């Protein structure tokens, strides 16, 4: 029994349904029903592998008779041309599962690889790399799992597990103070984070005893001042204009977290292929 989130299994089900439809017309017409094949999944670049267990779940969803053996660990660095998994089973089933399995594996490994680059860029600082909700619709749990396997951490999963008071909420309420007051009155028990667009906003949030403040698109100088003003009374999260080129300088301001949507919305798909060998007709 795997430990994948039920949402990932549901994403697999939907992905297979959209790809297979009424059946794999090509494989079913060309390959005998009793034919068997074996194959290897090969990394075609250097990077971080993530999602082999998801690829295996895809194969088993197509046919429980497919044998899948991972040859690399989740979050492990792999090299170009390295074999990361071995498969064996009914030929029709393997060819039917191939593209969907590789789609998940390629996307997740791409996210993990980019995340690892961000994590390494801030090594030696206190900053923790976080993802955002800028994930592919329907793939949030897979995307966020890939971030974890790349060495980052997850921000809130959705709108339901944390109160994040952003600029539109503040503008509607009239002030940070009023927005926080309303959020606390709801008695949800959820952590509250407030977006600050200026140092005055930071001071207002601190006066309210808010434990986490998001520094929105602030300059490095302003972030350093926010760290000084806060003096450890709240956790500070930097967001906006975060890239591999800028993340080190942001981390060196002393913030606790750096969140980047790029981890999931701009990661390049990791190149993997599945090479088959016919074993019986």
Active site residues: 99, 134, 166, 195, 216
Evaluate whether 275 touches 83 at the Cβ level (below 8 Å): no
Query: CA-to-CA distance for 209 and 211, rounded, in angstroms?
Result: 6
**Which residues neighbour 112 within 8 Å (Cβ) at sequence distance 6 or greater?**
47, 48, 49, 50, 51, 75, 146, 147, 149, 150, 270
DSSP string, 158-207: STTS-EEE-HHHHHHHSSHHHHHHHHHHTT----EEEEESSHHHHHHHHH
Radius of gyration for the alpha carbons in the chain, expressed in angstroms and rounded: 23
Q: Using CA atoms of 226, 232, 233, 236 in order, give the dihedral in degrees to the nearest 10.
A: 50
SS3 60: helix
Query: CA-to-CA distance for 234 and 89, rounded, in angstroms?
Result: 55
């Amino acid at each position: 029994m795997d430990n994948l989130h039920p949402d990932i299994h549901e994403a697999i089900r939907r992905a297979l349904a959209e790809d297979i439809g009424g059946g794999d017309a090509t494989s079913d017409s060309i390959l005998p029903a009793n034919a068997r094949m074996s194959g290897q999944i090969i990394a075609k670049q250097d990077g971080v592998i993530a999602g082999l267990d998801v690829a295996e779940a895809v194969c088993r969803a197509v046919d429980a008779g497919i044998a899948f053996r991972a040859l690399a660990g989740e979050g492990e660095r792999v090299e170009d041309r390295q074999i990361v998994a071995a498969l064996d089973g009914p030929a029709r089933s393997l060819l039917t599962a191939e593209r969907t399995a590789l789609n998940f594996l390629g996307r997740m490994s791409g996210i993990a690889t980019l995340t690892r680059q961000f994590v390494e860029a801030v090594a030696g600082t206190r900053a923790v790399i976080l993802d955002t909700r800028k994930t592919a619709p329907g793939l949030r749990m897979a995307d966020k799992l890939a971030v974890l396997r790349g060495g980052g951490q997850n921000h809130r999963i959705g709108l339901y597990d944390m109160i994040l008071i952003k600029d539109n909420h503040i503008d509607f309420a009239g002030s940070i103070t009023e927005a926080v007051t309303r959020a606390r009155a709801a008695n949800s028990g959820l952590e509250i984070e407030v977006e600050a667009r200026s140092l005055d906003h930071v001071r207002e949030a601190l006066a309210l005893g808010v434990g986490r403040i998001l520094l929105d698109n602030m300059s490095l100088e302003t972030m350093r001042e926010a760290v000084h003003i806060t003096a450890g009374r709240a956790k500070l999260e930097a967001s906006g204009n975060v890239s591999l080129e800028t993340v080190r300088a942001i981390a060196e301001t002393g913030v606790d977290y750096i969140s980047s949507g790029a981890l999931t919305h701009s990661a390049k798909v990791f190149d993997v292929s599945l090479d088959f060998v016919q074993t019986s007709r």
